[in-house]
Amino acid sequence: MLCALVTACSRPAEPWRLTDVSGHLPDLSFSLVDDSGRAVSGQSFEGRAALIYFGYTHCPDVCPETIARLMQVLQLIGADANRAQIVFITVDPARDTPAALHSYVRAFDARHAVGLTGSDRAIESLAKRYRVAYQAEKRDPDGSYEVTHSSAVYIFDAQGHARLLATDNDSVDAIAHDLRRVIDPTQS
């Protein structure tokens, strides 16, 4: 009988559905400007799970699709959404001013999403820190251009530790399932 109780209590946690990056990526650390023009740091998001996505407001497809998927995730987790924050970090700081980011992210969600920008050097340094690739493409004759970039979502826990990586191949349900566990580890 005691053996059965010990076995039940020591049952291993359910495996993650997303890619576990715990211990493989650095903690959330940066100094940028939010879409209201205020200086923010990685510590500004402590106390909430942070879903970090690198993109840009002129992105024709992947960025709006990803943010829309993250909004579906927040809907699925219900009240736990108040313990999460979508953080959209631009890879196009030349065009993505705080005002442009504000309009963009607020079109998705005024409570749970924030846009961040900074100097080219600050964005480049942060992208390298989390192994995000991006590059501005050749300008069109009218001056417009696209930026190719990685499309993964980095999920950090409330203490700012990198925990999970979600890709386009991960379902909204899988992201919601694992985000709930990051928000409340007792759900494992």
Q: Of 135, 91, 90, 133, nearest to 115 (Cα)? A: 90
Tokens of 179: 């985000």
Residue 63 in marked binding region: yes
Measured between alpha carbons, how far is 118 from 123 in angstroms, rounded to an integer? 6
Measured between alpha carbons, how far is 91 from 123 in angstroms, rounded to an integer? 7
Residue 58 in marked binding region: no
Residue 3 in marked binding region: no
Separation of first and last alpha carbons in the chain = 24
Q: Annotated binding site: which residue ranges?
A: 59, 63, 149
Q: Annotated binding site for Cu cation: which residue ranges?
A: 59, 63, 149
